[in-house]
Structure 1
Amino acid sequence: MNQKIEEKLKFYAKEGRKAVAWLIDPDKTLDDFSFLEQVQKASALQLDFIFLGGSLISANGIDRIIGLVKKVNTEIPVVLFPGSLLQFSELADGILFLSLISGRNPELLIGQHVMIAPMLAKSNVEVLPTGYMLIDGGIATSVNYISQTIPIPNHKPDIAVATALAGKFLGLQHFYLDAGSGAKIPVSKEIISGIKDAVNAPLLVGGGLNELGKVKTALHAGADVVVIGNGAEKNPSLLTEVLEYVNVLNLSLNIN
């Protein structure tokens, strides 16, 4: 099984390069023509990743979306961000193998992983072992309800850091901090910087990043990858603004 996406993430984290992932919910995509236009624009602005998934969907629309993306650009990795084992496609380049370490729901810590592991072993999909941490975004979100777990308080960086360290010691290679789709407030800079310093691993941050200023805060706090989802649905120009900013930021670091 290849490790191209993992190598890319580790390079970003080591060298200080910032990256952008566009999180797409297949149930919320526009018509094919409009969606393809968005992919073309994002591709021209050097989008790093496309994440595909959501809290409520099955696998019904995933293959179609992957096919549309690959029509435009075969170089952008399409990575599954699954809410359940139903949300799997062998057409994807990779999968965030999420263990919900912030919660105590055994199904999302290890249960569903056991069910899908034999299928993953037979596929060519790159598996990315990821510690998934829900952070309180100031509002009950779909992922809180579906996962039946309580998020980590946004003002308690010590709890968040201890949780991430536990994940690191369990062997998880990547960490995803998520305030949830439609969050009122994103993950705090104290939590981001605290975890980045503690685990020294690729750090992905999403949820509540609905304006450029919030994205900047996350990046400068230590996020290696910012994940733009609901914000881009409501404001399509946001993804363009973020990509343009990250390109300039990377150029200033003499990394691009």
Structure 2
Amino acid sequence: MKHSPVTDKILSNYQEGRKAVAWLIDPDKVANKVDFHAQLEKAKRTNLDFIFIGGSLVENNFSKEIISMIKEIDASIPVILFPGNANQFTPEADAILFLSLISGRNPEFLIGQHVTVAPLLAKSKMEVLPTGYMLVDGGITTSVNYISQTIPLPNDKPELALATALAGSFLGLKYFYLDAGSGAQIPVSSSIIQAIKGQIDAPLIVGGGLNTLDKVKSSFKAGADIIVIGNGAEKNLSLLTEVLEYVHVLNLSLNIN
């Protein structure tokens, strides 16, 4: 039986009400390795919970190199693949978000890519996190919207998002990821997060458009368990530090640190 430290960490946080932060790194956007090394050193000092690796369109698969750099600096931070397709698989990561795009109707992202990579996962030591991936309208056409050729869920229709999440839950998915997409103008609405949180007993990951501390606070208040900072950290790494400091204080206030 595989050892499951990433799963254990996510579930213990969830069960105890502890909030967490993931830094999403797109390998194609790591232009300067020296700067990236400095960013990793800074992240290490801020008690970052998780690092997600991937993107909708990864043209140069530097994932293995990026993961190696992360592990050299701090091997204690779980590195989780956030793959746009099967080609982005690399066994050096600790876990993979095994994403089924349940908000769309494109069979390639519901099950097709999964069949391709499944034999590789079976041979690896990687933890597999079966995740219902739900794309929510963030105000613009995002990369994931274009690549997946799917229509995002309306941001003002929580009942549709809840019905989708319930279907995923009945199918046995263990985690749910609400994503407005990279560079979204508006994040996933609080009403959608609240609706799903109220009826789905599973860790809820929220990302896309979270480029200010106030937006992060709103997502956590609505019920997000893990928030993902990607574009916001690319433009301003201090945002990540600011969010992590906030989460640390928030967790202390819940008497769980």
TM-score by length of 1: 0.98
SS of residue matched to 1:50: strand
With 162-171 and 58-67 compared, the bigger mean Cα shift is at 58-67
Give distance in 1, aligned partners of 2:3 and 2:152: 33
Q: TM-score, normalised by structure 2?
A: 0.98
Q: Aligned ranges for residues 181-196 of structure 1 at < 5 Å?
A: 181-196=182-197
The alpha carbon displacement at 1:246 in A equals: 0.4
Is 2:164 the partner of 1:156? Answer: no
Q: Give me the whole-angstrom Cα distance separating, in 2, the residues matched to 1:30 and 1:242.
A: 24
Tell me which residue corresponds to 2:241.
240
**Contact preservation (8 Å) 1:59, 1:87:** no
Q: Distance in 2 between matches of 1:156 and 1:203?
A: 18
Aligned to 2:48: 47
- Cα offsets for 1:181-215 (capped at 9, x unmatched): 00000000010111111111000000000000000
Please tell me the residue identity of whatever aligns with 1:171.
G
- Tell whether the 8 Å contact from 2:103 to 2:134 is kept in structure 1 after alignment: yes
Alignment check: 8 A CA contact 1:48 1:77 kept: yes
Deviation at 1:30, TM superposition (A): 3.9
Q: % of aligned pairs identical?
A: 66
2:79 corresponds to which residue?
78
Matched letter for residue 223 of structure 2: G
Task: Map 1:16-27 to 2 at 5 A.
Answer: 16-27=17-28
* CA RMSD after TM alignment: 0.9
Q: Is there any run of 5+ residues in structure 1 with no aligned partner, and where? A: none
Deviations 1:146-187 (A, max 9, x none): 000000000000000000000000000000000000000000
1:89 aligned onto 2:90: yes
- 1:178 and 1:129 mapped to 2: Cα distance? 16
Q: Would you say the 8 A contact 2:28–2:59 is kept in 1? A: no
CA distance in 2 between counterparts of 1:59 and 1:174 reads 28
Residues 59, 89 of structure 1: 8 Å contact kept: no
Distance in 2 between residues matched to 1:130 and 1:19, nearest whole Å: 17
Corresponding residue number in structure 2 for 1:2:
3
* Cα distance between partner residues in 1 of 2:187 and 2:87: 28
Per-residue CA shift, 1:48-72, capped at 9, x if unaligned?
0000001110562000000100111
Structure 1 counterpart of 2:16:
15
Deviation at 1:2, TM superposition (A): 2.4
How far residue 244 of structure 1 moved from its aligned partner, in angstroms, is 0.6
What's the secondary structure of 1:86's corresponding residue?
helix
Extract unaligned runs of 5+ from structure 2. none
Corresponding residue of 1:214: 215
What amino acid is aligned across from residue 216 of structure 1 in structure 2?
K
Shift of the alpha carbon at 1:12?
Answer: 1.5
Q: Which moved more, 1:239-248 or 1:56-65?
A: 56-65
Question: How far apart in 2 are the matches of 1:26 and 1:115?
Answer: 22
One-letter amino acid matched to 1:174: Y
Question: Quick one: which amino acid aligns to residue 222 of structure 2?
Answer: A
* Aligned equivalents of 2:204, 2:193: Cα separation in 1: 8
Residue number in structure 2 paired with 1:101:
102
C-alpha contact 1:59 1:86 (8 A) present in aligned 2:
no
Which residue type is aligned with residue 249 of structure 2?
A: V
Letter of the aligned partner of 1:150 in structure 2? I
Moved segments of 4+, more than 3 Å: none
Conserved? CA contact 1:102–1:133, under 8 Å:
yes
Distance 2:200 2:84 in 1: 25
Q: Give SS of 1:183's match.
A: coil
Instruction: Answer whether contact 1:58 1:86 (CA < 8 A) is retained.
Output: no
Q: State the aligned residue count.
A: 256
CA distance in 1, matches of 2:95, 2:47: 19
